[in-house]
Chain A
Amino acid sequence: DAKTTQPPSMDCAEGRAANLPCNHSTISGNEYVYWYRQIHSQGPQYIIHGLKNNETNEMASLIITEDRKSSTLILPHATLRDTAVYYCIVKPSNAGNMLTFGGGTRLMVKP
């Protein structure tokens, strides 16, 4: 499976957009990009996923580069409740529900 690289930590001001990068330069054609987050002491929460097109839902937007080697998760208006560890995961479509979590990015939203 392709591995992902994320910065270990980031800060963001409340109300501003949070842009979380992820590098997955060895991604294969059948691998999807998933984003999950984990708020302290809770189970991970699904945010969004995509294959090659940009995706948007009520929580966030996912921008995938044309060569698919990197992606950016955008939280348009970060709030204090968005403080969490964000995980970028690459998963083949034939891997069932086996997610390989890396270290993630610890996002701190500050007032």
Chain B
Amino acid sequence: KAGVTQTPRYLIKTRGQQVTLSCSPISGHRSVSWYQQTPGQGLQFLFEYFSETQRNKGNFPGRFSGRQFSNSRSEMNVSTLELGDSALYLCASSLTSGTTGELFFGEGSRLTVL
């Protein structure tokens, strides 16, 4: 079956702009999580959505937001982009939330902020 699909794979923005990233989970998966990966901070949890509700949120400013649709697809948005937002943004899906299920990660969206 198809894996987690993230679009776009690469994008370049300038400071002050906003960006929306999309994630299509594996069919049947209801949980979608987002992570940011940078060389300095490593992999950091952004937020998790399950059945259209935000379940957990990491320690990121309010410029970072997300949502999940009824078909479990998810989007995350970053407003007023800063240079430090340049990162690989990874989406992961799972059948459920809060149990011991494994996460399936996509290949990420690489954002460069100039």
Contacts and interface: CB of A to CB of B under 8 A. Distances in A.
Main secondary structure of the interface of A (DSSP, over half): loop
A46 B90 CA distance: 14
A29 interface: no
A96 B55 CA distance: 7
Interface residues of A, number: 23
Given A43-B106, A43-B107, A98-B33, A93 B45 contact: no
Interface in A84-111: 87, 93-104
A49 interface: yes
Main secondary structure of the interface of B (DSSP, over half): strand
A46 B80 CA distance: 33
A9 interface: no
A73 to B, nearest CB: 15
Using C-beta atoms within 8 Å of the partner chain, give the interface range for chain B: 20 to 34
A99 B44 CA distance: 8
Nearest to B44: A101
B42 A99 contact: no
Interface centre among B4, B42, B43, B55 (most CB of A within 10 A): B43
A95 B56 contact: yes
A97 B100 contact: no
8 contacts: A43-B106, A44-B90, A51-B100, A93-B100, A96-B33, A99-B33, A99-B35, A101-B35
Interface of A: 32, 36, 41-46, 49, 51, 87, 93-104
